[in-house]
Structures are given as C-alpha cells and as structure tokens.
Amino acid sequence: MLKRILFAFTAVVAVATPISLAAAPTQAATTTTPTITKFNPNMDTIYPTVRDGFRDSVTFTGDAQNLRDESNHNVRQTWNITVRNANGRKIASHDGTLRTWDNIRWTWNTKNQSTSTPVPTGKYKATLTVTNDETGETDTAATTLHATSDTVNRRITKSRTGVDTSARTRTHSCYIDRDWGTSHLSLDCWGGRQAVARYGFTLPRDARNLTWGMRGERGCCSDGRVIKTGTRPSATHYDVRVKVTNWAAYTVHRASITYTTKIHR
C-alpha cells in the first residue's frame, strides 16, 4: 500500500513540473566580411594603340553582397579597381561606393592615367577590391586583359560637298555659282565652251579597289554635254571632275571616293 502511494506522488510531481528540452534562442550572426559576387570586363582583348573606336576602351562591371550590422542597418562599403601592367606597375584606377541599387561599373579608356597616353601592347591585370568601411575587411577579385595590335583591311569613304572644290575653271558665257541656300554647286553654260569643277582626294599608297561617284542633277539643256571623270594622277591622289559644255547645266551635290587600305589598329 505504501509503495502505491509513493508511486502516485512521484507521478504527480513529474506531471506538475515538466522539463523543457528546447534550446535557448540565439542571436543571428552578422557577416562583416565583404563578398564579391561578380567582376568582369566587357572584353578580354583591347586595341589601345590606334584611337579609332575599335576596342580602345573597356568597361568593368561587378557586384558584392550587401552587409548589415547588428541593428540590421546597411554597412557602408567602398570599392576600387586598379589596373597594373605585367611588371606590377599601377596604370589606372577608379574608386566608388557600393550602393544597394546599383552595381559596380567603370569604363577605362585604356590610357595610362599618369601620362594620358595609350598603353603599349602586353598583359594587364585589373583587380577589384571591396572594403567594409567600418571594420576594414576586404575581398578581392581579378581579371586579365590582353592589349594587342594588328593590321587589317578597311574600306574607307571620303567625300566633299559641291561647293568644297579643289579647283574651278570656266570660259566666257559659262558660270560656276553656289546654289543659293545649299552646299551645292551649279555649273551652267550659255553657249560657252566649258565649266569645270575638280574635287581632289588624298590616298594612302596602298589604296586599291577604288571607286568614285558624283551625286547631282542635270539642268537645261540637251544641246551640250555633262562629262564626269575619275582619275588617279599619282599613288597618293585622286581627282573627280565634272565638265559641262555648250548649253548644258549641272548641279553638284557631292563627290566621293571609296577604297580599300590596310590600317594598323
């Protein structure tokens, strides 16, 4: 009987004072070390030597995780991109602040910032560094660029407006005048022998596959001729001419030449 009473008393105490097995809540850990998630150039190979718009600048883009302190406030982070040559010498750099609504972005003109001259061919290393301004902790990422040059064939077009002549000649009763309010040139003969307009163009010595053209419109009258010619009097010069005779008239809008040449880029 006594054993039953003691067993019942023990059971009541156990029910009345349950033991909690749940762990005490812990505070979420905060990360203070920057983490770069992306860093890329928009091209790996650059052509800085010739400033013709072909791959003579490069844009770097990147991103890093936002950091928050114990009060859940954004932590200020700054970034720097530095470009160094194969010898480790600093060539160019740029600084910025990491914003939650914008990525890291910088366009380098492929020039040495100290001399403002295009960098020579070779290998270059661009390094992105993101810094926690509160703790000084950093993260880095790097990419490699190859600066090169070569020679390619390029199709070139040059043109001149009608009034932009190299020479004009006329005989009695032939006239050469600007078409009022335009850049056009009017050649008009009233029974005269001729009126001539010449448009000269310089060429590289290796210019080939050359074509020429002249845009304009013929006026009065049918009793006369409009003669257009293109000649290359020397390796480095080309002439486009128009001649009107007798009672003919012609208005020149534009003269042009197009050729193929090798260019260094």
Encode 76-118 in three state secondary structure. Answer: CEEEEEEEECCCCCEEEEEEEECECCECEEEEECCEECCCCEE
The percent of residues in the chain predicted with pLDDT above 90, rounded, is 78
Beta-strand ranges (E) seen in 74-225 are 77-84, 90-97, 104-108, 111-112, 117-118, 122-132, 138-147, 151-161, 167-170, 174-178, 185-189, 192-202, 208-218
pLDDT at 30: 65
Average pLDDT across the chain, whole number: 90
Closest C-alpha among 125, 131, 139, 77 to residue 102? 77
Model pTM score: 0.62
Cα–Cα distance measured from residue 120 to residue 146, given in angstroms and rounded to the nearest whole number: 10
- Selecting from 3.40.720, 3.40.50, 2.40.50, 2.60.40, what CATH number does the domain 154-264 have? 2.60.40
pLDDT at 222: 85
Place of tokens 């114990």: 70
Worst-scoring range by mean pLDDT, 23-37, 112-126, 218-232?
Answer: 23-37
Closest C-alpha among 191, 189, 196 to residue 174? 189
Q: Which CATH class is domain 36-149?
A: mainly beta
Domain boundaries, the chain: 36-149, 154-264
84: pLDDT strictly greater than 90: yes
State the Cα angle at 101 between 97 and 106, rounded to 5°: 50
pLDDT at 51: 86
- 233's CB contacts (< 8 A; 6+ apart) are 239
**Residue range 58-84: mean pLDDT, rounded:** 93
Greatest CA separation for the chain: 151
Fold agreement between 36-149 and 154-264: yes
Beta bridge partners of 264: 151
Residue 201 CB-density burial (10 A; 0-12 exposed, 13-18 middle, 19+ buried): buried
23-54 residue pLDDT tens: 444 444 567 899 999 999 999 999 999 888 89
159: pLDDT strictly greater than 60: yes
260: pLDDT strictly greater than 70: yes
243-254 residue pLDDT tens: 999 999 999 999
Cα–Cα distance measured from residue 170 to residue 177, given in angstroms and rounded to the nearest whole number: 11
**Residue range 108-129: mean pLDDT, rounded:** 97
Split at pLDDT 50, 70, 90, the class of 161 is very high
Cα–Cα distance measured from residue 245 to residue 46, given in angstroms and rounded to the nearest whole number: 55
**Residue range 72-91: mean pLDDT, rounded:** 95
Split at pLDDT 50, 70, 90, the class of 16 is very low
21: pLDDT strictly greater than 70: no
pLDDT at 12: 42
Higher-scoring residue by pLDDT: 221, 10: 221
Higher-scoring residue by pLDDT: 29, 241: 241
DSSP 6: H
